[in-house]
Amino acid sequence: MGNIKTAMVVLWFMVTLVVALGSSVLKNKVQGLERRLATINNNIQKDIADIHVLKAEWSHYNTPERLRKLANEQLSLENAKPEQIINFSALHFNYENNDSEQSVRTDKKSLTTLVKAEAKKK
Amino acid sequence: MGFNVSFSKRKNEKFYLPGQEIKISRRSISTKSYTTENDNVSTCRARTWFTLCCFIAVYLALCIRVSYVCLGNGINIDTAISDQMAEDIFHFKNPVTRADIMDRNGEIIATSLPTVNLYANTKKIREPEEVAIKLNEIFPNDSYEYFLSRLNRKGAFIYLKRNLSPAQQSQVNNLGIPGLEFENCEKRIYPHKNLFAHVLGTTDVDNTGISGVEKSMNERLTTSTKPLYLSVDLGIQNQIRDELIAGVKQFNAAGGAAILMDVKNGQVIAMTSIPDYDPNENSKFGEREMFNFATKGIYEAGSVFKVFNTALSLESGKVKVTDRFDTSHHIQVHRLKVTDPHGSHGQLTPEDILVESSNIGSTLEIMRVGKKFQRKFLQSINMDKALTEFELPELAKPWFLSEKNWGETSMVTISYGYGISSTPLHIITAFSAIVNGGMYHQPTLLKNVKHKGKRVVSQKTSDSMRTLLRAVVTRGTGRRANVDGYQVMGKTGTADKLENGHYNHGKSISSFISAFPQSDPQYALLVVIDDPKASKETYGYTTAGWNAVPISRNIISLVAPQLNVRADFDLEKQKSIVDAAYKVKKQPL
């Protein structure tokens, strides 16, 4: 009886020790995770604020005036004119049958040249 | 080790000590001196063992769980926390509290930036002179005296400078002066500067809307961080504003306004008023710059009103498109002599009356219809009240005569656009109803709001009006607005300016109201030019045909392709262009 009692007490102490140790480790881990979570939260919050500012800057850089100027300088693009818009029905390409042999790829430059020539004639 | 506990020996009539009735099997625990029935000490021991084992079992379970959690992947965060907890943990708030304003395509047109204000707790500042010198070095735009006067005040919260840049904040921080502190705040920014000045309005130093959408939608913008989508289009607005500015400059005008509206739902796609201002600037602007002519400018529209006169005449059934009116002689109505500025035109149909913009013809039309129907019709298109449902606080109530004062003379002058004043917004909204099939839609600046329309003219009248208005552009005063393929229709109007109760014949307001395309009108455009000057280019004329019309043409030819309005070109001509292009491609130079 005495041996069992001693064994049980020892077991009890060991279990208590393990639980205490485990709890301590667990608490430590949780605290570490909480710190990490707080840091991540903080970073996300900062990122949200930064993204907000970047969006405002993006909007500032994308003003139509600036884009038009850049498109004109770098890409030689101009506003589309009504006479540059061609109806599908005016094209030879048979879209419904995807007739590649008869397909015509209208060359932008040549078309623009012709349109300009027409405008000059007018 | 297990226990075999039973209460089989318990008798109801017998008294038991606590634990005495518990019987523990001898086979489970072998103790020589252990008796279960009558020995109280044994009973207590059994109870102790039982409790001890229970504790051990619980501790073991805890131990296993703790080991599992500590050493393995014990916690699955997705399942271990509730949705509410997850929302609490992962919900991040944007530090900016005032919602952004977007155009119809999701482009930011107003936003707020997080910033800081600098304030002083003057109780903590020992040498205000020295602090003022240092602050003056960082903020050279504010004088030393300004800072000194603020620092000499007694208080724990004295504003020194609002909306510091990060660099300025860092410089002030580096001074390390106790008593200089920062307050988090936000500043409203308008990335496109003047472009939407009159639409968006602006906010005060506390970020509360004081004009424009910022004021009218202040509650919505401060209670929800979700962006507010407007019906305006950034690109289209820019094109229209540029063309209007160019026009105002070319004709040396005092100002101008333009509105582009979707005729099918009353949504405003673009609205601009010149001169305007940059809402980012804190300085106070002049009254003229702050004035939104498009919604607040009341003026007599002149011949533009003949559109409504013809529509109401046709709608009344007393005038038909085939009728002819003799306009060869002037008309005398009491003391008013009605004449046509360009001389007599003879027999005119309603179409000719619009094409020639005949005052006499309009007078003859309205004399058939009568003033009661005229007044009722103008009321039905809201010419008598402010458009209070429109999302801007800067609205004006039209100048509309009372029934008592609506006499014969008024009836006649109103038929050609004098004696009634309204805003450009009133005119374009009513015009949209005339050309869209007859449905009047309340104008709106919000993308997702579509007001239920009310019928003001029949489909038949609307169809007739489209034909009549198209004729004005093909062979009338609006010829210069004829953009190939877009079947533009419209009406010009030039009215003398009313100054101090008298008409100033040297100053006028010219306007051109148009819609396109005639076959299925989608957009209406109104261009108003305030006090244009005559020049060599206009051959000395200041009428709308020489200023508002060419501006409208430029605008339509630029924006119609962007708005995906289907152009109705001559198919044969197009085919010949494509054929020619194909040949060029096959036979390169």
Q: Report the CATH number at residue B314.
A: 3.40.710.10
What are the pLDDT digits (tens) for B48-70? 889 988 988 888 888 888 777 77
Q: Mean pLDDT over all residues of chain B? A: 87
Q: Kindly state whether residues B198 and B267 are assigned to the same domain.
A: no
Q: What is the pLDDT of residue B237?
A: 96
Count contacts between A and B (CB, < 8 Å): 146
Q: Is B462:B410 a contact under the CB 8 Å cutoff?
A: no
* Domain assignment of residue B284, yes or no: no
Closest-CA distance of chain B to residue A75, Å: 18
ipTM: 0.72
| Biggest distance spanned by C-alpha atoms of chain A | 121
A102: confidence class by pLDDT, cuts 50, 70, 90:
very low
B203 and B303: one domain?
A: no
Per the structure, the complete domain to which residue B12 belongs is given by 5-62
Q: Which of residues 226-255 of B touch A (CB under 8 A)?
A: 234-235, 238-239
The residues that bridge with B480 in the sheet, in sequence order, are: none
pLDDT-derived band at A5 (thresholds 50, 70, 90) equals: confident
Residues B532, B407 within the same domain: yes
Is the same domain home to B194 and B322?
no
Do both B528 and B380 map to the same domain?
yes
* Statement: residue B13 has pLDDT above 70: no
The stretches of B201-349 forming alpha helices (DSSP H) are 212-216, 218-223, 234-250, 287-290, 293-296, 306-316
* DSSP character at residue B437: T
A12 touches B at CB < 8 Å? yes
pLDDT surpasses 80 at B95: no
- B14-18, B26-30, B207-211, B235-239: lowest mean pLDDT where? B26-30
Task: Determine the pLDDT at residue B126.
Answer: 87
Same domain membership, residue B180 and residue B35: no
Mean pLDDT on B525-544: 87
Higher-pLDDT residue of A9 and B243 is B243
Instruction: Indicate the domain borders of chain A.
Output: 2-64, 80-121
| Residues contacting B426, CB < 8 A, separation 6+ | B382, B383, B387, B398
* Chain A residue at shortest CA distance from B66: A22
Tell me whether A102 touches chain B (CB under 8 Å). no
Residue B285 in domain: no
Residue B93 domain-assigned (yes or no): no
Looking at the structure, do residues B193 and B256 belong to the same domain, yes or no?
no
Q: Is B486 on the interface with A (CB under 8 A)?
A: yes
User: What pLDDT sits at residue B363?
Assistant: 95
| Model pLDDT, residue B212 | 95
User: Which residues in chain A are contacts of B578 at CB distance < 8 A?
Assistant: 86, 90-92, 104, 106, 111
B259 and B137 in a common domain: no
Question: Looking at beta carbons, which residues of chain A come within 8 Å of B63?
Answer: 15, 18-19, 22
Residues B491-519 pLDDT 10s:
999 988 887 778 887 889 999 999 999 99
- CB of A2 within 8 Å of a chain B CB? The answer is no
| Distance of alpha carbon B456 from alpha carbon B550, whole angstroms | 31
The distance of A59 to chain B (nearest Cα, Å) reads: 6
- Contact at CB, B107 and A59, closer than 8 angstroms: yes
Tens-digit pLDDT profile for residues B210-268: 999 999 999 999 998 899 999 999 999 999 999 999 999 999 999 999 999 999 999 99
Is some CB atom of chain B closer than 8 A to the CB atom of A52?
yes
Distance from C-alpha of B552 to C-alpha of B239, rounded to nearest angstrom: 11
CATH at residue B132: 3.90.1310.10
For residue B201, tell me if it sits in a domain.
yes
> Which residues of chain A are within 8 Å of residue B70 when distances are taken between CB atoms?
22, 25-26, 29
| Same structural domain, B143 and B19 | no
CA distances from residue B475 to B352, B468, B482 in whole angstroms, order as listed? 10, 11, 10
Inter-chain touch B235–A81, beta carbons under 8 Å: no
pLDDT tens digits, residue range B539-581? 877 788 889 999 999 999 999 988 988 777 776 777 777 777 7
Note whether A111 contacts B95, CB cutoff 8 Å. Answer: no
Pairing state between β B108-120 and B180-189: antiparallel
Number of folded domains that form chain B: 3
User: Using CA atoms, how far apart are residues B66 and B79, in angstroms rounded to an integer?
Assistant: 18
Task: Please indicate if any CB of chain B lies within 8 Å of the CB of A86.
Answer: yes
Q: Is A9 on the interface with B (CB under 8 A)?
A: no
Q: Which residues of B touch A16 (CB under 8 A)?
A: 59
Together in a domain, B383 and B518: yes
Residue B444 forms part of a structural domain: yes
For range B148-162, the mean pLDDT: 89
- Indicate if the pLDDT at residue B415 is higher than 90: yes
- Min Cα separation B53/chain A (Å): 9
Clarify whether residues B30 and B175 are in a common domain: no
Q: Per-residue pLDDT for B186 more than 60?
A: yes
Segment among A86-90, B28-32, B199-203 with least mean pLDDT:
B28-32
In this structure, is residue B589 part of a structural domain? no
> Which chain B residues are closer than 8 Å to A117 by Cβ?
none
Residue B363 lies in a domain: yes
Nearest to B63 among A15, A49, A106 (CB): A15
Q: Spell out the residues 6+ positions from residue A81 whose beta carbon is closer than 8 angstroms to its own.
A: A115, B557, B561
pLDDT for position B496: 87
Per DSSP, the three-state class of A119 is: helix
pLDDT reading at B400 higher than 90: yes
Same domain, yes or no: B219 and B257: no
